[in-house]
């Protein structure tokens, strides 16, 4: 279903070579952080980006100056502090938000809620005011709550369009592709595993039965592989031993999603990526599934497809946690003055 040939963003992200050019303005909010810097570097490499505006509460002039010396066409400007945020967002076509605090050992993504919920609410409020038509790509965790927060903020300002708000779950797909390829001795660039549900622990549901090329695993190995994909973020947090979370692989995955979105906005057909979005596919009001992307964001939600009994059970087991995280995000915005 998900031919890698259609995932031009993924191909672009690997090779940085395309003849396509566009005049697209991309803003990165949280551009000085562990994800923001490598993400901005990868975006600077793309001929699809003509203007790259970088925002953070520290160091953005330096990051922008550094990136501006790279011999690619994107013009880079840095903006520092809340007084300059509106200028960073002016005329933005795509806004990518990796801002927030990272996980440390022993923390769940939900432990980040109190700090990151406020950061995301403030930043998306600025987006709703200054670039309400832009595509909004949220990387800040917990995504299962920050996407409902973004939606509620846009609703408050009367500019909500669910087809333009995306929770970037691409790292789950990237990890699933890598881990399956390792186990089967395949080229990971040729493997595609849809990952549905949410973006935390057991809400991450790799649909290995729909993998291309087709692969099969004994049940015990399938369960272990699924668990590894679900807890891969924690694997990195532990390995970094307090020095941060998955930043480089997240920057790569975020770039892959943005490039796919830019391709679709520029008229390329058949561009498919999974993302955590407003959804009517399940009992959960937000759910990640493969999406056909187009000029105006989501062109069509492709749904869950045929699931194995094991995968159906994973979906069922994820529902309570997903709904609770979504409600927590929605209630947060309603309780804000």
Which tokens in the block code for residue 299? 């062109």
Share in percent of the chain as helix, strand, coil (round to 5): 50, 20, 35
Helix 143-156 crosses helix 113-130 at what angle (to 10 degrees)? Answer: 40
Q: Which residue out of 59, 86, 130, 199 is catalytically annotated?
A: 199
Tell me the C-alpha distance between 195 and 3, whole Å: 14
Measured between alpha carbons, how far is 289 from 268 in angstroms, rounded to an integer?
Answer: 20
Give me 51's structure tokens: 């203007």
In degrees and rounded to multiples of 5, residue 335 shows phi and psi of -85, -10
Do you find a cis peptide bond into 213, omega within 30 degrees of 0? yes
Give Cβ neighbours of residue 140 (< 8 Å, ≥ 6 apart): 30, 97, 98, 99, 100, 116, 119, 120, 146
CA atoms of 169 and 291, how far apart (whole Å): 12
- From CA 128, how far away is CA 49, in angstroms rounded? 22
Q: Positive or negative CA dihedral for 303, 99, 89, 174?
A: negative
Is there a catalytic annotation at residue 59? no
The dihedrals phi and psi of 75, each to the nearest 5 degrees, come to -85, 125
Backbone angles phi, psi at 283, to 5 degrees: -75, -10
Residues 74/46, Cβ–Cβ less than 8 Å: yes
Distances in Å between the Cα of 181 and the Cα atoms of 92, 215, 266 are 37, 10, 31
**Which are the catalytic amino acids?**
199
């Amino acid at each position: 279903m998900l031919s890698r040939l259609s995932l031009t963003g993924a191909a672009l992200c690997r090779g940085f070579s395309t003849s396509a050019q566009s005049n697209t303005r991309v803003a990165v909010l949280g551009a000085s952080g562990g994800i923001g810097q490598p993400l901005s570097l990868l975006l600077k490499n793309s001929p699809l980006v003509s203007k790259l505006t970088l925002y953070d509460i520290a160091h953005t002039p330096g990051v922008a100056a550094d990136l501006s010396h790279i011999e690619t066409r994107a013009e880079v400007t840095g903006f520092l502090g809340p007084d300059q945020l509106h200028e960073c967002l002016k005329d933005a076509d795509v806004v990518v938000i990796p801002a927030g605090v990272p996980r440390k050992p022993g923390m769940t993504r939900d432990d980040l809620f109190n700090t990151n919920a406020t950061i995301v609410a403030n930043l998306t409020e600025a987006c709703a005011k200054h670039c309400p038509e832009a595509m909004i790509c949220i990387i800040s965790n917990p995504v299962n709550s920050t996407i409902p927060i973004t939606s509620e903020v846009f609703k408050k300002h009367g500019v909500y369009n669910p087809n333009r708000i995306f929770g970037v779950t691409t790292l789950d797909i990237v990890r699933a592709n890598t881990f399956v390829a390792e186990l089967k001795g395949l080229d990971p660039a040729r493997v595609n595993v849809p990952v549905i549900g949410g973006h935390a622990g057991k809400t991450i549901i790799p649909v290995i039965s729909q993998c291309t090329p087709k692969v099969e695993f004994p049940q015990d190995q399938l369960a272990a592989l699924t668990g590894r994909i679900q807890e891969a973020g924690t694997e990195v947090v532990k390995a970094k031993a307090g020095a941060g979370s998955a930043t480089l692989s997240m920057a790569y995955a975020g770039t892959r999603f943005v490039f796919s979105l830019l391709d679709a906005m520029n008229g390329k057909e058949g561009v498919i990526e999974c993302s955590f979005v407003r959804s009517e596919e399940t009992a959960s009001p937000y759910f990640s599934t493969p999406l056909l992307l187009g000029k105006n964001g989501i062109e069509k939600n492709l749904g869950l497809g045929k699931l194995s009994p094991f995968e159906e059970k994973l979906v069922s087991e994820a529902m309570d946690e997903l709904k609770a995280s979504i409600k927590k995000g929605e209630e947060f915005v309603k309780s804000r003055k």
